[in-house]
Amino acid sequence: MSYSPSDIESKWQTKWSEQQAFEPLDDKSLEKKYILSMFPFPSGRLHMGHVRNYSIGDAMARYYRKQNYNVLHPIGWDAFGMPAENAAIKHGRHPKDWTYSNIAYMRKELKTLGLSFSETREFATCDELYTKWEQEFIIKMFEEKLLYRESTTVNWCEECHTVLANEQVEEGCCWRCDNEVELKEMPGYYLDIKKYADELLDDLKLLEGKWPSQVLAMQSNWIGKSQGLEFSFKLSDSSKEKLENKFEGFEVFTTRPDTIYGVTYTALAPEHPIVKALMKYELLDAEVIEKITAISNMTEVERAKAGKEGFDLGITVIHPLTNEEIPVWMANFVLASYGGGAVMSVPTHDERDFEFATQYNLPLKYVIEGGEEGEAYTGEGKLINSDELNGIKNSEAKVAVIKLFEEKNLGKGTTNYKLRNWGISRQRYWGAPIPFVHCESCGLVPEKVENLPIALPEDVEITGEGNPLENHPTWSTCACPKCGSDAKRETDTLDTFVQSSWYQFRYATDPKKWNECGIDKDDVNYWLGVDQYIGGIEHAILHLLYARFFTKALRDLGFIEDLKEPFENLLTQGMVLMDGAKMSKSKGNTVDPDALIEKYGADTARLFTLFAAPPQKELEWNDSAVEGAFRFIKKLYDRKSKVTSNEMPSIDQSSLNKEEKIARAKIYEALKKSVDVYEKTFAFNTLIASCMEALNALDKQQNEQVWTEGLYIITHLLEPIIPHVCAELSEELFKSKNLTSGKIEILEEVFVQDSITLGVAVNGKRRAEIEVDAGASKEEIIAMAKESIAKWLEGKNVVKEILVPKKMVNLVVK
RNA sequence: GCGGAUGUGGUGAAAUUGGUAUACACGCCAGACUUAGGAUCUGGUGCUUCACGGCGUGGAGGUUCGAGUCCUCUCAUCCGCACCA
């Protein structure tokens, strides 16, 4: 019978499901592997990126399962989020209905790919049972002061009608809809991720060599730790008076204390309290006030685009070392959210300060040797014009100045981070409600744990106008959990990234306990860290940073034990491209996985995906290469007639002819390679190539035993990649023994060939090829080599003879 | 600007510790079988040259008997962050 993928694949998918073949075992004495592909958002249909992601993960899971590991390979649904609400607005469907029916459809799609997921551990993050435990964590975080509510300037996306975290703003635009983000002052809930800044940074070291260096670098940059000096400028007496003695001065942070003597002005952010006070008391021209207000309303990106702008504030401060009087400016490039919103400006040794000073004719004072007049010198050098510090290297001066300030009690060495706290409030319906209550007398009160989950009301009108929870007639009305009086329920919902920050622990928790607890410590102790995590690079900061933070926080809150990092190893898969561009509906360059499976079968889809490029690289779609993958499977299937025994034969190597020996060697080379591929490099493309070579070599000989051994090993090796056809062949030919009896031993004897082909090079340049007996001595080989390149030796002397065993001969002549 | 990567045939890509560059596949060319082929099979296929040969892993040097691989410099492309003081 010829190869019919649809029959074979549905047969095995049914069988696996009936046998619950992919459920992890309870026995914690077994060696485990936790293989996790990032869970999908239930958008409605799978795309090729999913196929790639899950094909990679499945190959690993199946490999380890075959090596008798206890394997956890779960799947679920990252199910809250905006698109569900957008669908509701557009098509009038309830988000819940839309989400769960998408899940049902995509679950079927996943099944047709033959992925070896656990079926009992599947969940959607919008399941109320999941929300329940998440709300418990949130309350605990509030109690432990890790979560707080605050009114502050936030990133607001008008299109999505919600606040965004800093991580969700890309070049000033919303990560989801690309709408320009506005600034808005409003209350919201924050997680104190900065508390973990140092640990998040330091523990990146534990991941070196296990996570892509790019991701580590991105996280490190995002945390943005910098060390320097913090000190305050005192206002001059006249300025103090001007400000009605409301301010003594202001704090600044600098990473360049070595340039302290070069300060010629200071600059404040437009949001700085002193600037606000000056405006309030109308101590600035009306025109200036207007302009500063305009800048305040601009986003950081708009300010950057606008170029530098500033105004002399008409006040002065005293230099802490020289006691000189220094002007204070407002500058649009000073960030309110970093370093106290104020800077000391050293135009001679800082590009930005230089640009600003030139623009407004502010004085320059060089304090490091080495630069040229008329530019900012940011290099190294000795100090000048710096009193007692003159002559020392600026790198040493950094430390010296901090010490000096500390001794004189003027300031202190300190650390700053770019990382900002994680704003988790979203003004949307389709999310997990934030479980707090606003009470007139008690203030902000967490819901009682026994009342969880605080579930979403289903009878809502979703129009895109305002927050449906706020508009609901009764939902937000409640009793205060503390005093019992009338109160109002919080209508903000949690950022969806909260759900994906702990799902790895939920999977690890035995589903039999899902009603009793959110996370089971023992189960997590056994299964975590995730041995291999696989997903797209687009999550390098967002999800991966949040999940790392949550792991540390949940540990400190006692929900899990002593776990530093959730994801032990990370593989970031490349994008799937077509015509050099990312596949997307709007570009119309997509391939529908369903159609692909319909035409060629899941095995072909999986084989192509893993063969066309290594998983870390981009994958360019190629229809005819898909045909090629299909042809290979067909060929493999056709060769089943060559097998004559259902046992692994024991072959007498010495009785084989040359072609038979080559075929055997190719087979065992592939077997040898497979360990590295499956456990280390994930270069599935090279393993598949080796199997193809082995099959090509088998085709060049007729020995039934070699054929039997060959197919026994090839189907064993390829089962993680093309599981259906291999399961079918294995069952029919070998009673499935090659898939169930663990490792196959590598026989070194097969690598010994009768004769070896060696390259012959003269002065490193390849000139000829010789075939030598396997047992030939060095002398014999050199003699043959010389003969083969006789014409190159005419009139020359061989000064050196190099033999690289089994590879080549190099003769150095003069 | 800072950080991270990547440059190998017509294409996707291979290449243990430095050891025959281009495995495997796609495409292309030729042939076979066919009424036909966008099916299947066989063979060929880095560039250049009539040929001997020469040249070939972005470029330039270096180390070495020998470099895609190691070192120095340089160019190009991609990705991330970006006025973080």
Instruction: Please write down the HEC assignment for all residues of A357-373.
Output: HHHHCCCCCCCECCCCC
User: Are A550 and A501 contacting, i.e. CB atoms less than 8 angstroms apart?
Assistant: yes
Q: What's the CA gap between A611 and A596, in Å, rounded?
A: 16
DSSP state string for A380-438: --BB-S-GGGTTSBHHHHHHHHHHHHHHTTSEEEEEE-S---EE-EE--SSSPBP-EEE
Selection from A191, A203, A197, A78 nearest residue A557 by Cα: A191
User: Are A49 and A575 contacting, i.e. CB atoms less than 8 angstroms apart?
Assistant: yes
CA of A687 to C1' of B13 (A): 13
| Domain definitions of chain A by residue range | 5-125+501-582, 134-192+422-496, 226-416, 643-751, 755-813
- Between strands A755-762 and A808-813, the pairing is parallel
List pLDDT tens digits, range A576-596: 988 878 887 777 888 999 999
CA of A261 to C1' of B62 (A): 46
Q: What's the CA gap between A468 and A463, in Å, rounded?
A: 8
**Measuring from the CA of residue A696 to each C1', which nucleotide is nearest?**
B24
Strand partners, A470: none
Q: Was domain A755-813 assigned CATH 3.80.10.10?
A: no
Degrees (nearest 5) of the Cα angle A68, A72, A77? Answer: 155
Q: What's the CA gap between A131 and A142, in Å, rounded?
A: 16
Tell me the angle at which helices A602-611 and A623-638 cross, rounded to the nearest 10 degrees. Answer: 120
CA of A214 to C1' of B55 (A): 37
DSSP A457: P
Degrees (nearest 5) of the Cα angle A267, A273, A279? Answer: 90
- Coil, helix or strand for A46? coil
CA of A751 to C1' of B54 (A): 37
Selection from A703, A712, A696 nearest residue A747 by Cα: A712
**Multiple choice CATH, A643-751, 3.30.390.10, 2.40.50.100, 1.10.730.10, 1.10.3090.10:** 1.10.730.10
Per-residue model confidence (pLDDT) at position A241: 95
One-letter amino acid for residue A90 of the chain:
K
**Measuring from the CA of residue A331 to each C1', which nucleotide is nearest?**
B83
Selection from A350, A349, A320, A344 nearest residue A264 by Cα: A344
Token pair 């002593």: residue: A562
**Measuring from the CA of residue A635 to each C1', which nucleotide is nearest?**
B40
CA of A754 to C1' of B63 (A): 37
The torsion angles phi and psi of A752, rounded to 5 degrees, stand at -85, 115
Per-residue CA distances from A102 to A110, A786, A789 (Å): 12, 72, 70
Nearest protein residue, CA measured to C1' of B26: A625
**Measuring from the CA of residue A759 to each C1', which nucleotide is nearest?**
B20
**Measuring from the CA of residue A355 to each C1', which nucleotide is nearest?**
B83
CA of A684 to C1' of B66 (A): 31
CA of A539 to C1' of B18 (A): 38
| CATH fold label, A226-416 | Isoleucyl-tRNA Synthetase; domain 2 (3.90.740)
Evaluate whether ipTM surpasses 0.85.
Answer: yes
Longest CA span, chain A: 109
Token pair 């060939």: residue: A753
Per-residue CA distances from A217 to A61, A418, A531 (Å): 29, 14, 21
DSSP state string for A173-203: EETTT-PBPEEEEEEEEEE-GGGGHHHHHHG
DSSP A654: G
Which positions of chain A have pLDDT values less than 70? 1
Per-residue model confidence (pLDDT) at position A513: 97
**The two structure tokens encoding residue A502:** 């702990």
The torsion angles phi and psi of A416, rounded to 5 degrees, stand at -125, 155
State which nucleotides on strand B lie below 7 Å from a protein beta carbon: 2-5, 11-15, 19-21, 23-27, 39-42, 65-67, 79-85
CA of A216 to C1' of B58 (A): 28
**Measuring from the CA of residue A220 to each C1', which nucleotide is nearest?**
B3
Per-residue model confidence (pLDDT) at position A807: 85
Selection from A378, A380, A396, A377 nearest residue A388 by Cα: A396
**Measuring from the CA of residue A333 to each C1', which nucleotide is nearest?**
B83
Per-residue model confidence (pLDDT) at position A159: 83
- How many CB atoms are located within 10 Å of the residue A221 CB? 11
**Measuring from the CA of residue A614 to each C1', which nucleotide is nearest?**
B13
Selection from A706, A707, A713, A699 nearest residue A651 by Cα: A706
CATH superfamily of A5-125+501-582: HUPs (3.40.50.620)
Strand partners, A180: A173
- Coil, helix or strand for A667? helix
CA of A373 to C1' of B73 (A): 30
Q: What's the CA gap between A51 and A576, in Å, rounded?
A: 10
- How many CB atoms are located within 10 Å of the residue A180 CB? 15
CA of A766 to C1' of B49 (A): 19
Nearest protein residue, CA measured to C1' of B5: A214
Instruction: Please write down the HEC assignment for all residues of A663-683.
Output: HHHHHHHHHHHHHHHHHHHCC
List pLDDT tens digits, range A484-502: 999 999 999 999 999 999 9
Q: Sign (positive/negative) of CA torsion A172, A173, A174, A175? A: negative
